[in-house]
């Protein structure tokens, strides 16, 4: 079992990983054998989650996300953010304003970075591969969700029957069973 804000080392497939599970339910895997210097560029590495940054400014901004200080609060839903610019992006959820549109399927997004991640789903290229079972994914976050199955970490819980699931999609599918029983 991985504790809150704790770090564990696990052997997954052919590599040794650090596994980080945060209070908000997010998880991060980092391969231990990678060095902080990549392609001759020096970088700043977060000691908490292992994420790397090219500039000191981006590193400092990132460290604020781990500090627990969240001074920017949404007046519509109460969600708090560590930076005011994160709050401004969040307000777009409430306004429905999604200025970035996918040219392939017309789906709209709040940010250009979200659009770029989405566009990878149309290419068929799956560059994120599981070291254990070789299943491939077009998005890194989907690989992380998949890795939870191998680690037997279940972050999603049914409030009706107390069953637990590694992936949100499995809980959503399960909840349909309860919806059917309530309607009959």
Confidence of residue 82 (pLDDT cuts 50, 70, 90): confident
- Tell me which CATH code domain 67-97 carries: 3.30.160
Q: What residues contact 154, with CB distance under 8 A and at least 6 apart?
A: 148, 164, 165, 166
75-103 in b/e burial notation, b at 16+ Cβ within 10 A? eeeeeebbeeebbeebeeeeeeeeeeebe
Distances (CA, A) of 112 to 28, 105, 118: 23, 15, 10
The two most distant CA atoms of the chain are separated, in Å, by 64
Distance CA 99, CA 92 (A): 10
- Of 79-83, 103-107, 174-178, the one with minimum mean pLDDT is 79-83
Higher-pLDDT residue of 183 and 158 is: 158
| pLDDT, tens only, 28-77 | 555 433 444 445 555 778 887 777 878 888 888 788 777 777 788 999 99
The DSSP result for 98-141, as a single string, is: --EE-TTT--EESSHHHHHHHHHHHH----EE-TTT--EESSHH
Distances (CA, A) of 52 to 15, 23, 35, 83: 19, 21, 10, 19
Confidence of residue 104 (pLDDT cuts 50, 70, 90): very high
- pLDDT number for residue 184: 63
Q: Which two tokens stand for residue 78?
A: 């109460």
Confidence of residue 105 (pLDDT cuts 50, 70, 90): very high
Q: Which two tokens stand for residue 54?
A: 């090219």
| pLDDT, tens only, 3-27 | 333 344 444 444 444 555 555 555 5
Check whether 101 has a pLDDT greater than 90. yes
Tell me the Ramachandran region of residue 46: left when phi exceeds 0, alpha when psi lies from -120 to 50, beta otherwise: beta
- pLDDT number for residue 8: 46
């Amino acid at each position: 079992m991985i504790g809150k804000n704790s770090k564990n080392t696990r052997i997954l497939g052919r590599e040794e990983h650090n596994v980080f599970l945060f209070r908000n339910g997010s998880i991060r895997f980092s391969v231990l054998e990678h060095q902080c210097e990549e392609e001759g560029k020096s970088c700043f590495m977060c000691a908490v989650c292992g994420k790397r940054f090219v500039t000191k400014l981006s590193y400092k901004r990132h460290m604020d996300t781990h500090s627990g200080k969240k001074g920017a609060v949404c007046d519509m839903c109460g969600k708090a953010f560590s930076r005011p610019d994160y709050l401004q992006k969040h307000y777009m959820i409430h306004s429905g304003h999604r200025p970035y549109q996918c040219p392939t399927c017309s789906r709209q997004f709040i940010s250009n970075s979200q659009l770029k991640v989405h566009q990878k789903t149309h290419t068929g290229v799956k560059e994120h591969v599981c070291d254990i079972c070789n299943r491939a994914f077009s998005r890194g976050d989907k690989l992380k969700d998949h890795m939870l199955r191998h680690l037997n970490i279940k972050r999603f819980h049914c409030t009706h029957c107390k069953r637990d699931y590694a992936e949100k999609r499995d809980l959503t599918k399960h909840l349909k069973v309860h919806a059917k029983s309530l309607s009959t």
